Amino acid sequence: MAQTAPSREVKLTFAQIAPPPGSMALRGVNPNGGIEFGMRSDEVASKAVLNLEYTPSPSLLPVQSQLKVYLNDELMGVLAGDKRAVGEKDAGAGTYQSAIYHRL
């Protein structure tokens, strides 16, 4: 009879893994942001989920501005700018799932 390996679920909020003060601002002069998180070398990740909520700036160019989400340098999704949603929380919020993760 095969044994199943023990499993655990870890949930981290953005405030826990983001650089201080627990938030991230992307600006024209610095449009990139990244968060790194790790796991033990004797563990294997079977699933990762990112629930993304953001508030687009009113100064964004709706047709040209995008938010790209990468996981392990692989594009997970693109949120296009929407001029009707600027300044509104949750505009374009999305959930991204991957079977493998290590660097977001």
Residue 59 is assigned to a structural domain of this protein: yes
pLDDT tens for each residue of 32-58: 888 877 788 888 777 777 777 777 777
What residues make up the domain containing 72? 43-104
The span from the CA of 56 to the CA of 90, in Å, is 9
Mean pLDDT, rounded, of the chain: 72
Residue 29 is assigned to a structural domain of this protein: no
CA neighbours closer than 13 Å in the CB half-sphere of residue 80? 5
Cβ within 8 Å of residue 82, ≥6 positions away: 56, 62, 91, 92
Residue 5 is assigned to a structural domain of this protein: no
pLDDT value at 98 more than 60: no
The pLDDT score that the predictor gives to residue 44 is 79
Number of domain units in the chain: 1
Residue 90 is assigned to a structural domain of this protein: yes
pLDDT tens for each residue of 52-75: 777 777 777 767 777 788 877 888
- Closest CA relative to residue 91, chosen from 51, 49, 56: 56
pLDDT band at 12 (very low <50, low <70, confident <90, very high): confident
Residue 71 is assigned to a structural domain of this protein: yes
Q: How far apart are the first and last CA of the chain?
A: 37
Q: pTM of this prediction?
A: 0.60
